[in-house]
Amino acid sequence: MRIKPTGIALLAMLLCAAGPSRAQEDLPVRNCTWCHGSSAQGFSTAPRIAGQQPHYLVQQLLAFKDHSRDNPTSAQYMWGATARLSPERASEFAAYFAALPAEPASDGNSALVEAGRVLYEQGAAQSEVAACVVCHGPNAQGFEAIPRLGGLSYGYLKSRLAQWSQGFHASAFPMPQVATSLSPEEVEALASYLSFLR
Partner 1 sequence: MRLKIPVTVLCAVSLALAFTAAGAARQRVWRVAAESGFESKADYCKTCHGLSGEGYRGYYPMPRLAGQQPRYIENQLRAFIERRRVNPVMFNVAHALSPGMLAALTQYFHQLNPPPIGGAAGGNVGLGRTIYEEGLPEANIAACSACHGPEAKGYEEIPRLAGQLYPYTVKALSGWTRERGQGGAGKSDASAIMVPTTHNLNAAQISALAAYLSTLR
Binding site for partner 1 (CB under 8 A): 121-123, 125-128, 130-131, 133-138, 141-144, 146, 165-166, 173-174, 177-178, 180-181, 183-184
**Shortest separation between residue 127's beta carbon and partner 1, angstroms:** 5
Evaluate whether 110 touches 192 at the Cβ level (below 8 Å).
Answer: yes
Closest CA to 31 of 86, 117, 123, 93: 93
Q: What is the phi/psi pair of residue 37, to 5°?
A: 95, 150
In this complex, which beta carbon is closest to partner 1, that of residue 110 or of residue 183?
183
CA atoms within 13 A on the CB side of 138: 0
**Shortest separation between residue 188's beta carbon and partner 1, angstroms:** 13
In this complex, which beta carbon is closest to partner 1, that of residue 92 or of residue 186?
186
The CA R_g of the chain, rounded to the nearest whole Å, is: 19
Closest CA to 43 of 53, 52, 51, 32: 32
In this complex, which beta carbon is closest to partner 1, that of residue 39 or of residue 166?
166
In this complex, which beta carbon is closest to partner 1, that of residue 32 or of residue 189?
189
**Shortest separation between residue 100's beta carbon and partner 1, angstroms:** 21
